[in-house]
A = this chain, B = another copy of it.
Amino acid sequence: MQTLGIALLGCGRMAHVYGPKINTHPGLRLSVVFNPNLASAERIAEQYGGEASSDLDHALSHPGADVVLVATPANTHLEYVIASAKAGKPTFCEKPLDQSLDRADQCVATLKQHPIPFMLAFNRRFDPDIAALQKTVRDGGLGQLSFLMSTSREPAPPPMSYVKSSGGYFVDATIHDIDLMCWIAGERPSEVFAAGSCLTDPEIGEAGDCDTTMTTLKMPSGCLVHINNSRRCAYGFDQRIEAFGEAGLLQTTNQRDENLVRWGADATEVHAPLKHFFLERYDASFSIALDEFYCAVTEGRDPSCTVQDGRDALAIALACDQSRKTGSAVKMEWS
């Protein structure tokens, strides 16, 4: 089995997600950990392996760095992706690509000039239930597709500092649902309509953002897509997808760590909470995404989630936010 050495850029939360997963993958190892702050890089390197560096060029040209994993703060993804592409390294980039469509377009252009195997980590595509749903749909198991529906609700709003730098709820969160819906449908919307409310914390509304949204995507085939998102969910991280077509319906269901059923005088119930949040619910999908990147690079093929996918999901999320703000549907054209 071929071994790929990784240059990990970034030392925040996602470094702690990918670190252990790199170490349990039989074909991956951590070669170098880069952070502008050397102390941070050293802490990650000590915990998960590799050499620590605060010198980007050194990290990208490190002899053990066969591939690059970009897990830096979201607003810096692009600069590192472009540096990595210019260094000619196959690159795996945490989502989102960027919050600016112009910058995302520049990135697409740069990657055309410097073609490398590139994967944007929309990890939820690799969740086993969602992947099985998508495969059934794309293989024609539902016949003509009528509806796609995604329910994605978070336990509680993030801190206001996060909200303010997130690019807005659509760009921060709905983008996951948008990517999944387009990937499952196999097409991009010709028109979007979105409505948003601020129900959890007035400060979110004062910042021009919302915490409760419903989105409709009209697909060229006639398939209609519904997405609902909420930054508040009393019973945890609610993640459900429905695909409905000519031949029937597919549903993914919520997951728990314990499933004991309790029949009492007052109710029949399951006490145990849902998988807490995205790191728990989609734990497997991070590993499988990493393995997809490994396989694509070692097999010499393109990874299954492209820079164009990331750029398009951003364009749709921005159109949704525009629709929410104007109260009008927004038409989309694709070249």
Residues of A within 8 A of B (CB): 24, 128-129, 132-133, 136, 144, 146-147, 149, 153, 191, 193, 195, 197-199, 212-214, 216, 218, 222-226, 228, 230, 232, 234-235, 238, 244, 246-253, 255, 257-272, 327-329
Contact = CB atoms under 8 A, between A and B. Distances in A.
Given A197-B223, A218-B195, A234 B264 contact: yes
Contacts of A329: 193, 327-329
B213 A224 contact: yes
A247 B267 contact: no
Given A146-B230, A248-B235, A261-B251, A222 B199 contact: yes
B260 A252 contact: yes
A173 to B, nearest CB: 15
Closest 3 A/B residue pairs (Cβ): A269-B269, A197-B222, A249-B263
Q: Which of A197, A213, A225, A272 has the most CB of B within 10 A?
A: A197
Contacts of A136: 260, 262
A268 B269 contact: yes
A195 B216 contact: yes
B249 A259 contact: no
A228 B132 CA distance: 24
A47 to B, nearest CB: 12
Given A271-B267, A328-B329, A234 B216 contact: no
Given A244-B230, A262-B248, A265-B248, A257 B128 contact: yes
Nearest to A247: B234
Contacts of A263: 234-235, 238, 248-251
Q: Which of A226, A246, A253 has the most CB of B within 10 A?
A: A226
28 contacts: A129-B258, A129-B260, A132-B258, A146-B212, A146-B232, A149-B228, A153-B244, A191-B195, A191-B327, A195-B218, A198-B222, A199-B246, A214-B216, A214-B225, A214-B226, A216-B216, A224-B228, A230-B244, A235-B263, A235-B268, A238-B249, A248-B263, A248-B264, A249-B263, A252-B260, A253-B260, A267-B271, A328-B329
Contacts of A246: 199, 232, 234
